[in-house]
Amino acid sequence: MPRGKSSSGGSLFYRRKHSWRRDELVSRSTLHLLDFDDGTPPEHAWRRKLSSHANRLKEFNVTFREAFKMMKLGLRLWSYVREEASQGRKAPIDPFTRESTKPSASQGVPLGGMGTGSISRGFRGEFKHWQITPGSCDMSPVMENQFSIFITREGGTKKYSSVLAPGQHDGLKKSSDDGISSWDWKLRGDRSTYHALFPRAWTVYDGEPDPELKLSCRQISPFIPHNYEESSLPVSVFVYTLVNTGKERAKVSLVMTWANSIGGLSHQSGGHVNEPFIGENGISGVLLHHKTANNNPPVTFAVAARENQNVDVTVLPIFGLSGESSVTAKEMWGTMVQGGCFDRDNFNAGPSMPSSVGDTVCAAVSASTWVEPHGRCTVVFSLAWSSPKVKFKKGSTYHRRYTKFYGTSPRSAINLAQDALMKYKHWEEEIDKWQTPILRDERFPEWYKITLFNELYFLVAGGTVWIVDVLPDSDLSSSLPEDSDLPLHNSTCNSTVPLIGSSPPDFDDKENVGKFLYLEGVEYFMWCTYDVHFYASFALLDLFPKIELSIQRDFARAVLREDRTRVRFLADGTWGTRKVIGAVPHDLGAHDPWHELNAYNIHDTSRWKDLNPKFVLQVYRDFAATDDMSFGRDVWPAVCTAMEYIEQFDRDGDCMIENDGFPDQTYDAWTVLGVSAYCGCLWLAALQAAAAMARSLGHDDYADRCMVKFAKAKHVFEAKLWNGSYFNYDSGTSYSSHSIQADQLAGQWYTASSGLPPLFDEDRIKCTLQKIFDYNVMRVKGGRIGAVNGMHPNGKVDETCMQSREIWTGVTYSLAATMLLHGMEDQAFTTAQGIFLAGWSEEGYGYWFQTPEAWTIDGHYRSLIYMRPLAIWAMQHALSPPRAILEAPKVNTMERAYVSPGALQFLQDSVRKITPKSGCF
């Protein structure tokens, strides 16, 4: 496919202009002054003034008709949520419980590496969105956690002091007291700006609060592609660059204050201890040992700064918020205003007494320096947290990945903080090497470059867990238990496919990266939801391919497992088996991941038609992209089993699977019947991918059989769904059956992404994509909001259900990727830009760093901080395919399929159908 040219023949994106200029928000003179030690923000970044209003977000509402249709489901779900709560557990889907803090347009770049337990930081400076404990998320900011500045000009005639965040926050009282309301919240924010390019962020204070002091704070976290050690570290660095433009020498003291809290009301639980420390290389600070509630593992924070010949570091190990405290927040502030530092004897204070229930204990670390007239200086802080154990609600406990390098002691927080202060410049060099080629590529519009990196926030803030492998290596397969009644001889693989029984499998770590989990979304508590991972996984494949292969191995093992536990499916109230052998699980579980699969219980996902084809497609894409033969051989038995399992849904023997008249795919509120564009296209793609993989592994007979089925199934698919300009939603007779589905070419997307021949004639593919662009994209808000899922051919949005009328952010990105793969660059970037305009731009709805699963045409969101928008990396995969795919020999999967008619019939009759166990459904 030609790359780098638009469909109109001109240079790609020649009409596109930059979205921002730095000097529109920060003066050129200030940018020039800060241009040392990387203090100036980059040319390409997402930007906001700190004075920008953080408006409340609008949550979606169902219509009366939708509510009536879902009434019984709602009642069952409400009962299930209450039952789980009575056991101290969070239900995977809970639309009834609301956060005390209403979501607002105030998010920013999160802190730390992946799987560490996350803390986000809003663009105005507040530390919020706490997810240290898996499954527990508190959105509200801890307002005691701040950076503040104290400036005294030589001679003492000019003094300035302020928290480095605007004071318009709900967490502040209006009247003065002994707490943080007594601090100087003087920053207006109209001369201060935030610049974000994940995993870094810059805040520039252009003369606030001192008109003659230019200040830049650079936030750095160790998210480094292909670095599986440092990307797992729970640490961030804050580099302050100071420039004195005045004529007087200035003493500048920066203070980082931190509450002994992991969000919410955790600071009031009691038993928390603060302790000063002096480390190596001039690094010192305070440890805050947090005793978590409900028997959760403890957490220790380290707040530190680095001392040198120009910078003095002092600490206040403990202060409180009330007059009953030995030192109050008000007194702490007064000490800094008066002298600009704390008593150095505080380093000898030792551990504090454990805090009482209801009390809030905080610590402060000060770094002070003199800045000469027209002089420059750098001050560096670090924040680390040691939370070595991950404990899930049903009892399993693991060690986080970083403990492999730093051990499990709570005091490892000191070493983490020290290493961060010593290594952050190297981290930045590696980040620059990764990002610069994309940022300098003039083919791409600026909004795309910025959003591409910033959507990666989810791999930190999306509730990720990364653990050390704890059990010895094992193969993907083991012997069947003696009492199993499901022996399966897989003749098409020329071997017996061993299946794993009901006991949880041993872990293996063939990729040597531990085990990785990420949530479907903050509101949907399920680990590694596979139908959504189908869209998001391009980010992991491109940046951390060993993690992607590890997740695929987990699902390959799961395909060969069963769990005969009976569960109730809430959509219809029936009971069924939790996990059926051969079915790809919906997710890796919630409260006992890897062991208790399928936390999702709205529908029986063993009857879903998209999960098994998606597994085969992802496995082949990863196999092709990494050229890892060992991976291919290991997962091949699961691929065979998954393919044969899904064949049972070919009800009429025409080689095309059918949907069963309920929402049996990722659109789990949108009913589909008969042959469907979405699942049928995935099935065609899976047949071709399985054939290609079989040929690579030497199973030519299996490949021939797949392609025979492909040829017949393709004919059925096109005959039943192609209407001359697109593929109908399904072959049924419902109101939606002739709808234009934005996602109808999902199978072709993966086919092209994997370097396989197209499923259909190129003219049909482009005709379909153009129809989707003209209707689903451009007829909704003029293309400024993304692609609506369903559109009637009369140009009206399909309002059959809430999902048909929604814009799905990740699906819009994947649609754009499909357009790129077929030379439709202008349409692709116009389509994807709608997500930027609606979600990330200043005129949009305010969903930056919390991109939701969906929004409606009027901007109401559903499910903030969601996995699927990582699909923007599918666009990058299309623009810059992996070398292994580019350099691979062209695959002709049909070369051995077209033989004599008699041989065709023989091959068709010899492919064995799986007879489903009567208890499966």
* Tens-place pLDDT, residues 684-718: 999 999 999 999 999 999 999 999 999 999 999 99
What's residue 19's pLDDT? 46
Spatial CA neighbour of 317 closest among 358, 283, 282, 348: 348
Say if residues 736 and 670 touch (Cβ distance below 8 Å). yes
* Backbone conformation region of residue 228, classed left if phi is above 0, alpha if psi is from -120 to 50, else beta: alpha
What's residue 496's pLDDT? 30
What's residue 173's pLDDT? 58
Average pLDDT, the chain: 88
Q: Are residues 412 and 546 in the same domain?
A: no
Higher-pLDDT residue of 701, 23: 701
What's residue 167's pLDDT? 78
Q: Is residue 609 part of a domain?
A: yes
Last residue of a domain, one of 415, 440, 465: 440
Q: Is residue 186 part of a domain?
A: yes
Q: Is residue 456 part of a domain?
A: no
Spatial CA neighbour of 801 closest among 859, 722, 854: 854
Q: Are residues 553 and 422 in the same domain?
A: no
Is pLDDT at 142 greater than 90 in this prediction? yes
Higher-pLDDT residue of 8, 62: 62
What's residue 905's pLDDT? 39
Is pLDDT at 189 greater than 50 in this prediction? yes
What's residue 507's pLDDT? 60
CATH number of domain containing 809: 1.50.10.10
Higher-pLDDT residue of 155, 774: 774
Residue 324, judged by CB atoms within 10 A of its CB (0-12, 13-18, 19+), counts as exposed
Compute the distance between CA of residue 17 and CA of residue 829 in angstroms, rounded to an integer. Answer: 13
Q: Are residues 45 and 176 in the same domain?
A: yes
**Mean pLDDT, rounded, for 556-564:** 95
Is pLDDT at 508 greater than 50 in this prediction? yes
Residue 698, C-beta contacts closer than 8 angstroms, at least 6 positions apart:
none
Q: Is residue 501 part of a domain?
A: no
- pLDDT, tens digit, for every residue of 327-344? 999 999 999 999 999 999
CA distances from 456 to 118, 881, 882 (A): 14, 19, 19
Query: Three-state DSSP class for 54?
Result: coil
Sign of CA dihedral 391, 395, 401, 405: positive
Compute the distance between CA of residue 785 and CA of residue 857 in angstroms, rounded to an integer. Answer: 7
Confidence of residue 855 (pLDDT cuts 50, 70, 90): very high
Confidence of residue 12 (pLDDT cuts 50, 70, 90): very low
674: which 2 tokens? Answer: 């008969």
What's residue 563's pLDDT? 94
Total domain count for the chain?
2
Is-above-0.85 flag for pTM? Answer: yes
Is pLDDT at 560 greater than 70 in this prediction? yes
DSSP per-residue codes, 639-705: HHHHHHHHGGG-TTSSS---EEEE--SSSTTS-EEESBHHHHHHHHHHHHHHHHHHHHTT-HHHHHH
Last residue of a domain, one of 391, 412, 440: 440
Q: Are residues 300 and 416 in the same domain?
A: yes
Q: Are residues 714 and 823 in the same domain?
A: yes
User: What is the total residue count of the chain?
Assistant: 921
Sign of CA dihedral 532, 537, 540, 542: negative
Say if residues 344 and 338 touch (Cβ distance below 8 Å). no
Show the DSSP H helices in 487-585 as ranges. 530-543, 545-559
Q: Are residues 399 and 524 in the same domain?
A: no
- pLDDT, tens digit, for every residue of 659-690? 999 999 999 999 999 999 999 999 999 999 99
Say if residues 355 and 268 touch (Cβ distance below 8 Å). no
Say if residues 885 and 625 touch (Cβ distance below 8 Å). yes
Q: Are residues 42 and 167 in the same domain?
A: yes
- Residue 539 CA to its chain's centroid (Å): 9
Confidence of residue 909 (pLDDT cuts 50, 70, 90): very low
What's residue 172's pLDDT? 64
Q: Are residues 426 and 527 in the same domain?
A: no
Strand partners, 477: none
Rounded to 10°, the helix 825-839/809-821 angle is 160
Q: Are residues 673 and 754 in the same domain?
A: yes
Compute the distance between CA of residue 813 and CA of residue 438 in angstroms, rounded to an integer. Answer: 18
Q: Is residue 14 part of a domain?
A: no
Strand partners, 489: 496
Strands (E) in 62-175, as ranges, are 118-121, 127-131, 146-153, 159-163
Min mean pLDDT across 383-392, 512-521, 881-890, 891-900 is at 891-900
Say if residues 221 and 338 touch (Cβ distance below 8 Å). no
Is pLDDT at 654 greater than 70 in this prediction? yes
Q: Is residue 94 part of a domain?
A: no
Compute the distance between CA of residue 808 and CA of residue 785 in angstroms, rounded to an integer. Answer: 10
Backbone φ and ψ of 536, nearest 5°? -80, -25
Q: Are residues 424 and 516 in the same domain?
A: no
Query: Three-state DSSP class for 348?
Result: helix
Question: Cis peptide before 209, with omega less than 30 degrees from 0?
Answer: yes
CA angle 134, 139, 143 (to 5 degrees): 120
Compute the distance between CA of residue 913 and CA of residue 911 in angstroms, rounded to an integer. Answer: 7
Domain hosting 370: range is 38-56+102-440
Higher-pLDDT residue of 889, 912: 889
Q: Are residues 391 and 514 in the same domain?
A: no
Compute the distance between CA of residue 561 and CA of residue 566 in angstroms, rounded to an integer. Answer: 15
758: which 2 tokens? Answer: 């197209």
What's residue 62's pLDDT? 84
CATH number of domain containing 435: 2.70.98
- Count of H helices and E strands in the chain? 22, 31
If one counts every other C-beta atom within 10 angstroms of the C-beta of residue 279, the result is 16
What's residue 500's pLDDT? 33
State the DSSP H helix or E strand holding residue 897, giving kind and residue range, or none if neither: none
872: which 2 tokens? Answer: 């923007």
- Residue 354 CA to its chain's centroid (Å): 36
Min mean pLDDT across 153-167, 216-230, 309-323 is at 153-167
Q: Is residue 80 part of a domain?
A: no
Min mean pLDDT across 25-39, 183-197, 237-251, 521-535 is at 25-39
**Mean pLDDT, rounded, for 186-191:** 91
What one-letter code names the amino acid at 246? G
Say if residues 688 and 643 touch (Cβ distance below 8 Å). no
Residue 193, judged by CB atoms within 10 A of its CB (0-12, 13-18, 19+), counts as buried
Confidence of residue 38 (pLDDT cuts 50, 70, 90): confident
- pLDDT, tens digit, for every residue of 511-557? 889 999 999 999 999 999 999 999 999 999 999 999 999 999 999 99
Confidence of residue 324 (pLDDT cuts 50, 70, 90): confident
What's residue 395's pLDDT? 73
Strands (E) in 126-267, as ranges, are 127-131, 146-153, 159-163, 192-197, 200-206, 213-220, 235-244, 250-259
What's residue 229's pLDDT? 97
Confidence of residue 77 (pLDDT cuts 50, 70, 90): very high
Q: Are residues 851 and 760 in the same domain?
A: yes
CB hemisphere CA count around 541 (13 angstroms): 35
CB hemisphere CA count around 309 (13 angstroms): 0
What's residue 98's pLDDT? 76
Confidence of residue 133 (pLDDT cuts 50, 70, 90): confident
Compute the distance between CA of residue 770 and CA of residue 458 in angstroms, rounded to an integer. Answer: 31
Residue 20, C-beta contacts closer than 8 angstroms, at least 6 positions apart:
45, 47, 446
Q: Is residue 911 part of a domain?
A: no
Residue 278, C-beta contacts closer than 8 angstroms, at least 6 positions apart:
284, 347
Confidence of residue 6 (pLDDT cuts 50, 70, 90): very low
Q: How far apart are the first and last CA of the chain?
A: 44
Say if residues 384 and 300 touch (Cβ distance below 8 Å). no
CB-based burial, 159-179: b 16+ in 10 Å, e otherwise:
ebbbbbbbbebeeeeeeeebb
Strands (E) in 281-425, as ranges, are 283-290, 299-306, 311-319, 362-371, 376-386, 389-391, 397-399
Spatial CA neighbour of 178 closest among 343, 367, 359: 359
Spatial CA neighbour of 559 closest among 614, 621, 630: 614
Q: The tokens 């799905």 sit on which residue?
A: 808
Last residue of a domain, one of 440, 466, 496: 440
